Amino acid sequence: MNARQVLFGVVLALASGVGGYFAYDAARTSNKDTSVSATAALPDFSLPDIGGLLRQSSEWEGKVRVVNFWATWCPPCRREIPLLIQLQSEYGGDLQIIGIAIDDMQAVRDYAATTGFNYPVLVGQQEAVELGNQVLQDWIGLPFTAFVNSEGKVLRVHVGELHRQQADKFLREIF
């Protein structure tokens, strides 16, 4: 290999790295819609809540639901929880937020002790991952949130941290 080929390789590697960084940064900081439309029914599920009680998805049939998949070790998950608490308070009986922590039960209990959840928080590991795959096939990160109409149809799945403007838009589509 001569010096010219080496220099070309170095320049190509640098250009690829800089281009990759700018593409990543643009995707990270954009305000684009990071949700996907969905048309499937929310699958039936049963998972324990933080008190150890086995909860069935059928408990919330007939209600508009926001099903949030999250974990205690996930900073964007933790940042969006106050919004979910606020939405549950504002919408009251017309909406049911359901948190599904893909996490260790004790870690979730410890976090919940200082958080003030006003909605059910269910916990699972492999079974919660499998449920997540039924809601959003091949998901690769947390959080993600499914917006479900009163007939049980998943209308939209938002990938990433949920913000107020996005939540309001998705809920207007349902109500």
Task: Return the CATH number at 65.
Answer: 3.40.30.10
Are residues 57 and 119 located together in one domain of the fold?
yes
**CA angle, 149 as apex, 146 and 155 as ends, to 5°?**
50
Are residues 47 and 22 located together in one domain of the fold?
no
Asked whether residue 5 carries a pLDDT value surpassing 90, the answer given is no
Average pLDDT over residues 83-93: 96
Are residues 61 and 109 located together in one domain of the fold?
yes
Are residues 150 and 94 located together in one domain of the fold?
yes
Are residues 18 and 103 located together in one domain of the fold?
no
Please tell me the total count of domains within the chain: 2
Are residues 85 and 104 located together in one domain of the fold?
yes
Are residues 158 and 112 located together in one domain of the fold?
yes
- Select the more confidently predicted residue: 5 or 149: 149
Query: How far is the C-alpha of 89 from the C-alpha of 15, rounded, in Å?
Result: 50
Count of alpha carbons within 13 angstroms of residue 15, beta-carbon side? 6
As a whole number of Å, the end-to-end CA separation of the chain is 65
Whole-number average pLDDT of the chain: 85
pLDDT recorded at residue 138: 86
Q: Model confidence at 64, in pLDDT bands (50, 70, 90)?
A: very high
pLDDT recorded at residue 92: 87
Asked whether residue 93 carries a pLDDT value surpassing 50, the answer given is yes
Are residues 25 and 40 located together in one domain of the fold?
no
Q: Is the whole-model pTM more than 0.85? A: no
CA dihedral for 31, 164, 61, 104, sign (positive or negative):
positive
- Host domain of residue 158: 35-174
Question: DSSP class of residue 150?
Answer: T
Calculate the CA dihedral of residues 175, 27, 75, 82 and round it to 10 degrees. -30
Are residues 107 and 124 located together in one domain of the fold?
yes
Are residues 59 and 97 located together in one domain of the fold?
yes
Are residues 94 and 107 located together in one domain of the fold?
yes
Average pLDDT over residues 91-107: 96
Backbone angles phi, psi at 98, to 5 degrees: -130, 120
Are residues 136 and 56 located together in one domain of the fold?
yes
